[in-house]
Amino acid sequence: MTLGGGPTLCQVFWRTLHETTGIQPAVDDVSHQARARRKVQAETIIRSATAESVRSTMGQDALDLLCGKKHAEDHAAKLDALAQISSLTRFDQRLASRGKAADTVESASRFPNWSRDLEALSAVPPDHLTAHCIRSHFRHMRLCDAGVEYIDAELGKFDHLDELDVSGNRIKRLANLPDSLRVLNAYNNHGLDLDTSPHALDLQHLGVGCCQLGDLGPLAFCHTTLMSLDLSYNSLVDLNQTLACFERLEHLERLHLAGNPFCLIESYRSCVATQVSTLSTLDGLKLEEHEYIHDPTMLEQQQRVIAGWEMMMFEERVRKTNDMKRFGFINIEERNLDVAERAVMLIQKSWRSKQSVDLAKKKTSLMRENLCNRHVDVLIAVDAFEYVNVSEEPLDPKKAGKTGKGDKKGGASSASWKSNIQVYFPDSEPLQVKVGRSLEEADSPLLEHRIQLPINTRVRDKLRFSSVEIKLCETYDGGEGEQEQVAVVGKSKAKLAKLLDPFAIKQFRGKPRVSGDLLVDIDRSGTCLEEFCANPADSPDGELDPDGLPRQEQFRISIRVQLNPGPDSAKATSSD
C-alpha cells in the first residue's frame, strides 16, 4: 500500500539491492509452516508402519515422498534449473543493456554505502538467498533522498534491523518500525508525525531535524527511552511547551535544538540545562556549571548551614588558641595573627555565599522572563570607517574643491562631496548615517539602532538566510546654479547566519553577534559622478590631484549586529 502513488520503503530497498548488487530473493514456493506440517505427517505415518511395509505397499517413491527426500530432490533440481536460467538471463541482460549501463551506475551511485551488511550478504550461497534470509542479514540501512512516501508493513519483518536512515524523503508517519530498531534518522521529512502508537519503540537516538515540527506531544509517550535527540531547525517557538515534553525522557543525555526560533532567547541554554537535568551536551557543546540555574531558596538554605558550621569552627579555634596561650604554648602575637586570618576567611566565604545566592536569584528571574518572552532585540551599529585609495596616494580629509568639472564650473570653494551609508536590515526600514570623507565630518555616534522582532519561524529564516546590506551613496554639489548629482558607488553584505550558531550563543552568553570590517569596492566609473572625479592622466606628471577624488577606491566599514543587547543600547523601536 502506498500513499500518494510514491514508492514504499521496502520497494526502494529491493530495487536498490538489485541495482547495486544484482541480488534477487530466490524462489521459495513452499513455506516453512507447510514444510514443517508435512514433516510431522510423514513422521506419524512412518511410526505407525515399518519402512518395509510402506515400500512393499506404496513403493520406494512413496516412501521417499513421505520422508521428504523426494521433495528435497525436486526442490534442488528446481533450484539448479532456476540458477541456470537466471545466469543465462543475466548474461542476456548484460548484452542487451549496454546502452542502459550508465542509468544503472547512476541509480547505484544515488545510494553509495547504503548498508554496511552487503559484504556479509555476498558470502551467502545464491540458493539460500530467500527474502527471509536477506531481511535477517540487514542491521544497518540508509535510504536517503529516494522519494519514499510510506513505510510499509514489510519493514517490520526486518527482525535484526538496528539503524535506519530515511532522511530527505516524503514520509509523513513513523509506522511499521521493527522492535529491534535503536537508531532512527528521518531528517528533512516535512510534515512528519512522531506518533508511533499503539507501539512504543525502545529507540536510543532519534534525528528529526528540518522536519518543520511544531508539536512534540507524541514524543513524551512513544519515545521515552531516548538518550540522544536531534530536533534542530524545526518550527518550535514555545520553549515552555517544548521543555514540558522532555519531562518523561529520563535518560536523555544529548540534545540538539539549534536553529529553532526559541534559540534567539538570551538564557535559552540555561533554561534547557536547568529543566532537563540529565543533559550533558546541548547543541553539540558540553554544558558547563555556570550555565545551570540553581534554585536560590535551596542554595540560600545550604549556605546558611555552611555559614553556621564555619562559625562554630571559628569559635572552637578561638577557644583552643586561648587555652594554648594560657598554658604558654604560643605567644600573643601568633594567637592574634591566627584569629585575624580565620576571621578574614570567614568574612570572605560569607560574602561569596551572598553573591552566589544573589546571582541565582537574578538568573531565576531572567529565566522566568525569557520563558514568557516572545520578542528578541537586535542591535545594528556602525563603529568606524575609512577610505582606502587604490592608487595609494594620500587623500585630503575634506576632499572638497578642485575635482575635474567642478573646478571649471564653480571653483574649488563652491563644490563639495557628501557621503552617506545606507544600512538595510531584512524587512526593515533602511537606516542612514552621514559619514563624509573622514570621521570628523561623520555623525557621532555613527549608528546605534535597536529593532524588536517577534520570535517566530519567519524571523529565524531571516537571520539564517538573509544579510545586512551596506550601500555607499555619494552626492556631488557643484555650487550655485548646479544640480546635485547622486549615485550609489559601492555595495557590500554581511551574513547573519552566525547569530544562530550554537558555539556563538554559548561563547557570548546568549548574546551572539556578527562583527567585523567590510571592504566596499567603490567605482564611480559609469555613474553621473564620473565626470567630477580627478584622473591622474589629466595631470602633467600623471599623479592624482591631492584635492581630487579618484574614480576607484575602497571603503572599509566596521559593522556590528548583536542579539539581546544590554539596556544601555540605543532606544528600541518596534518592527514586525
Q: Mean pLDDT over residues 61-87, rounded?
A: 57
Task: Say whether both 408 and 535 belong to one domain.
Answer: yes
Ranges 10-19, 267-276, 323-332: which has the least confidence: 323-332
Task: Say whether both 464 and 510 belong to one domain.
Answer: yes
What share of the chain has pLDDT > 90, as a percent? 20
- pLDDT higher than 90, residue 25: no
Q: How many angstroms separate the first and last alpha carbons of the chain?
A: 46
Angle at 347 between CA 345 and CA 349, to 5 degrees: 70
Alpha-helical segments (H) within 8-117: 9-21, 32-48, 51-58, 60-67, 69-96, 101-109
Which range has highest mean pLDDT (57-66, 81-90, 221-230, 469-478)?
221-230
CA distance 134 to 25: 7
pTM score? 0.70
- pLDDT higher than 70, residue 566: yes
Give the pLDDT of residue 321: 66
Task: Say whether both 493 and 360 belong to one domain.
Answer: no
What share of the chain has pLDDT > 70, as a percent? 59
Q: Tell me if 230 is assigned to some domain.
A: no
- pLDDT higher than 50, residue 575: no
CATH of the domain at 473: 2.60.40.150
Task: Say whether both 313 and 383 belong to one domain.
Answer: no
Task: Say whether both 380 and 504 belong to one domain.
Answer: yes
Give the pLDDT of residue 337: 57
Mean pLDDT of the chain: 75
Secondary structure of residue 229 in the 3-state scheme: strand
Q: What is the DSSP code string of 429-471?
A: PPEEEE-TTSGGGS-SS-EEEEEEEE-SHHHHHHHHH-EEEEE
Q: Tell me if 329 is assigned to some domain.
A: yes
Identify the band that residue 108 occupies on the pLDDT scale cut at 50, 70 and 90: very low
Task: Say whether both 467 and 426 belong to one domain.
Answer: yes
- pLDDT higher than 60, residue 158: yes
Q: Tell me if 387 is assigned to some domain.
A: yes
Last residue of a domain, one of 328, 350, 371: 371
Ranges 60-74, 180-194, 401-415: which has the least confidence: 401-415
Q: Tell me if 333 is assigned to some domain.
A: yes
Task: Say whether both 405 and 366 belong to one domain.
Answer: no
Ranges 36-40, 107-111, 426-430: which has the least confidence: 107-111
Q: Tell me if 546 is assigned to some domain.
A: yes
Identify the residue with better confidence: 425 or 32.
425
C-alpha cell at 343: 576571621
Task: Say whether both 314 and 384 belong to one domain.
Answer: no
Task: Say whether both 360 and 400 belong to one domain.
Answer: no
Task: Say whether both 305 and 412 belong to one domain.
Answer: no
Task: Say whether both 454 and 562 belong to one domain.
Answer: yes
CA distance 356 to 302: 11
Q: Which strands make up the sheet holding 285-286, listed edge to edge? A: 140-142, 163-165, 183-185, 205-207, 228-230, 254-256, 281-282, 285-286
Number of structural domains (the chain) is 2
Q: Mean pLDDT over residues 362-383, rounded?
A: 76
- pLDDT higher than 90, residue 75: no
- Residue numbers of the domain that contains 433: 375-574
Q: Tell me if 366 is assigned to some domain.
A: yes
pLDDT tens, position by position, 455-484: 888 889 989 998 999 998 888 876 666 677
Q: Which strands make up the sheet holding 431-434, listed edge to edge? A: 431-434, 416-424, 467-477, 485-495
Give the pLDDT of residue 231: 95
Identify the band that residue 244 occupies on the pLDDT scale cut at 50, 70 and 90: confident
Give the pLDDT of residue 163: 94
pLDDT tens, position by position, 180-224: 999 999 999 998 988 877 777 789 999 999 999 988 888 877 888
Last residue of a domain, one of 308, 339, 371: 371
Last residue of a domain, one of 349, 371, 393: 371
Q: Tell me if 496 is assigned to some domain.
A: yes
Pairing of strands 254-256, 467-477: unpaired
Identify the band that residue 351 occupies on the pLDDT scale cut at 50, 70 and 90: low
Task: Say whether both 427 and 496 belong to one domain.
Answer: yes
Which range has highest mean pLDDT (156-160, 239-243, 406-410, 564-568)?
156-160
